[in-house]
Amino acid sequence: MRLLIAGAQGQLARAMIELAPSAEDVTAFAVGRPALDLTAPSSVLRTLADFKPDVIVNAAAYTAVDRAEQEPDAAMALNAQGPRRLAEAVERMGALLIHISTDCVFDGAKPTPYVEDDATAPLSVYGRSKLAGEEAVRAAAPRHIILRTSWVFSPYGSNFLTRMIGLARERDELRVVDDRMGCPTYAPHLAAAILGVARAATAAPHRGTWGTYHGAGTGSTTWCGFAREIMRVSGAHGGPSVPVVPITTAEYPTPAIRPVNSRLDSSKLTAVFDVALPPWQQGVAECMARLRE
């Protein structure tokens, strides 16, 4: 299987490219800007023609959730028009598109974890742009898998876990919101799940497997609970660790409104593809071990 990953420098793409060489049946390429720029149609066509992939994973996105409130056009260009362009090209070559989306397509009002068919109602520019991307992929490429994930963290670059560790070096305590729930997702666990989905979907290339799925770390917590687990694991290995004080979202206002309930029910992914992500706490432990190396 030839697998092309768009968004080479992102945390999910990096996790995928680290994992792929250990899989003998997969030849993986990650391509980023400028060679593959989703806002530049010619680069999309050229890259697909050069690599001739069987599966394309779109891990490229405008992910600056707060900045998107000021830059809606840029968010739409990358998260909606980019995937549409990619989906049209992928469909023409008969390949499979695995497009990564987000919990932010929901408004969070549901009291229980979201399933794939729940009504979408994004609260932010980012969420609206990602929802438009989903709709564009569905319209342009029947051979698609839209995989919504949430609260992605990894050893790479800036994300919630690496920011908490950095802040714990500078501060006596961390104040973290405790009234929003979600499923933290370790990028390498998500990468392994995507490889599993790609294998299963190409082995059984029929409509029964195409569609929308949720794929997030097993279990759920609040941002405060997530931070406390990071501090616990860090402290247990002699790393920075400070108390985490619970606060409300009202005490930490941000430009973009985020769902109060971001929890994703990933059971359809397991039922169809026999793929399940490990508990999010295992992701924290593995990520901290990687950072210690």
Ligand X SMILES: NC(=O)c1ccc[n+]([C@@H]2O[C@H](COP(=O)([O-])OP(=O)(O)OC[C@H]3O[C@@H](n4cnc5c(N)ncnc54)[C@H](OP(=O)(O)O)[C@@H]3O)[C@@H](O)[C@H]2O)c1
Chain residues in the site for ligand X (CB under 6 A): 6-7, 9-12, 32-33, 36-39, 59-61, 63, 78, 100, 102-103, 130, 149-152
Peptide bond into 34 cis (omega under 30): yes
Q: Is there a catalytic annotation at residue 126?
A: yes
- Retrieve residue 6's tokens: 């768009």
Please answer whether residues 212 and 97 qualify as being in contact, where contact means their C-beta atoms are separated by less than 8 angstroms. Answer: no
Amino acid symbol at 31 = V
Q: Which is nearer to ligand X, 34 or 243 (CB)?
A: 34
Q: How far is the CB of 98 from ligand X (least distance, A)?
A: 11
Q: Which is nearer to ligand X, 135 or 241 (CB)?
A: 135
Q: Which is nearer to ligand X, 7 or 108 (CB)?
A: 7
Three-class DSSP category at 287: helix
| CB under 8 A, 24+ apart: contacts of 33-40 | 36/6, 36/8, 36/60, 38/6, 38/78, 38/82, 38/83, 38/85, 38/86, 39/77, 39/78, 39/81, 39/82
Q: How far is the CB of 280 from ligand X (least distance, A)?
A: 12
Beta bridge partners of 30: 5
Q: Which is nearer to ligand X, 54 or 83 (CB)?
A: 83
Please answer whether residues 161 and 231 qualify as being in contact, where contact means their C-beta atoms are separated by less than 8 angstroms. Answer: no
Q: Which is nearer to ligand X, 35 or 271 (CB)?
A: 35
- Can you point out the beta strands (E) in the chain? 2-6, 27-31, 55-58, 96-102, 144-149, 152-153, 174-177, 181-182, 185-186, 211-214, 221-222, 244-247
Nearest residue to ligand X on Cβ basis: 10
Q: Which is nearer to ligand X, 74 or 272 (CB)?
A: 74
- Report DSSP letters for 199-266, one per residue: HHHHHS-SGGG-EEEE---BS-EEHHHHHHHHHHHHHHTTS----EEEE-GGGS--SS---SB--B--
Q: Which of 114, 126, 186, 213 is catalytic?
A: 126
Q: In what order do the strands lie in the sheet with 96-102?
A: 27-31, 2-6, 55-58, 96-102, 144-149, 211-214
Q: Which residues are catalytic?
A: 126
